Amino acid sequence: MSDLNIRISGRAGRITFNRPRALNALSHRMALDLHAALEQWRDDPDIALVIIDAEGEKAFCAGGDIAAVYRAGVEGDHQVGRDFFRDEYRMNAAIADYPKPIVAFMQGFVMGGGVGVAGHASHRIVGDTTQIAMPEAGIGLIPDVGGTWLLGRAPGRIGEYLALTCGRIRAGDAIHAGFADCYLPEAEWPALISLLEQGGDVPRGIGLTPPPASLATRDLSAFGERNLSDIIVALERIGDEEALKPIRRNSPLSMAAGLAMVRAARGDRRMQESLSREYRFTWRATEHSDFLEGVRAQIIDKDRDPQWSADPSEIHVQELLSPLGENELRWKEKL
């Protein structure tokens, strides 16, 4: 059985994540197949819109399937990761720029690579089980898959807060932060999907009043400080242990780089600029960051005790984000 169920139903192209036991983790092959399906339907007059959903109640997609990237990196082969991130980011950009509506139904965990799929769709629907996060700093990476673009456009300092703490947000906060568009209880999703398949149009005014957004009233001014060290001092001054606990646990390099990238993304005009900056870090990640150690601790050995050792200095962050020359991420409209 395929990890993606790709088919046509009525006037809709349908893409369904089909790895519920793996929390629908996105593999390299899945990223390529998803992108290929979008390209196939792009100019098909019989396809009016695309619906992306997932099997299982626990997760839409809990992140990228990076075990192969880890294994290759440990053996000194850094190209496996570079190829995966390159093709994944091109798929993310194709979703963001797609000429037809893409409707994503996000239940359960929507993290990392899952945000890269659903977070850039034109219509992003969340429900009562939705939990969205960019948890990369916990595995020694940075918010990628266009995550810095989304975080950079969140109101106030929500972007910095989510990047550094890897905080999970539910429906109300997801809409407030710009990661989703409307709230609809999961029990009502099948009826809406059927309507979309039959009519080929996204009705106006879909969704109900979302739950309250707790982040709308939370004081996040400390996350506006100049750098990571100053943010930590400000949080300690006000005694925000809820934020300090994950920050003390996450990779210092990943947080320093993520902070710089979220802020840089605020000046980007297209998501591709943010993705290209993210690729500069991930191209180097298996060789010059905490990524392999983070994956070992959280995913492979699962001891949850990463020994961070990468240099978090501003100079090293600048080196990791410097242009890649001939290896820069190139964009192409069609496969």
User: Residues 144, 101: contact at Cβ < 8 Å?
Assistant: no
Given this model, what pLDDT does residue 333 score?
47
CATH code at position 219? 3.90.226.10
Q: Per the domain annotation, does 95 fall within a domain?
A: yes
Query: DSSP string covering 146-201, please?
Result: THHHHHHTSSTTHHHHHHHH---B-HHHHHHHTS-SEE--GGGHHHHHHHHHHH-S
Predicted TM-score of the model (pTM): 0.96
* Domain membership of residue 262 as a residue range: 4-327
pLDDT > 80? residue 332: no
Tell me the per-residue pLDDT of 159-194, one tens digit each, with 9 for 90 and over: 999 999 999 999 999 999 999 999 999 999 999 999
Q: Per the domain annotation, does 214 fall within a domain?
A: yes
Tokens standing for 135? 């948890």
Q: Per the domain annotation, does 197 fall within a domain?
A: yes
Report the chain's mean pLDDT, rounded to a whole number: 96
Q: Per the domain annotation, does 25 fall within a domain?
A: yes
Q: Per the domain annotation, does 60 fall within a domain?
A: yes
Rg of the Cα atoms in the chain = 19
Q: Per the domain annotation, does 332 fall within a domain?
A: no
pLDDT > 60? residue 335: no
- Please name the residue that has the structure tokens 């109640």: 57
Tell me the per-residue pLDDT of 75-100, one tens digit each, with 9 for 90 and over: 999 999 999 999 999 999 999 999 99
The number of domains in the chain is 1
Q: Per the domain annotation, does 138 fall within a domain?
A: yes
Report the share of the chain in percent with pLDDT over 70. Answer: 99
Q: Per the domain annotation, does 10 fall within a domain?
A: yes
User: What residue type is assigned to position 93 of the chain?
Assistant: A
Alpha-carbon gap, residue 150 to 165, rounded angstroms: 16
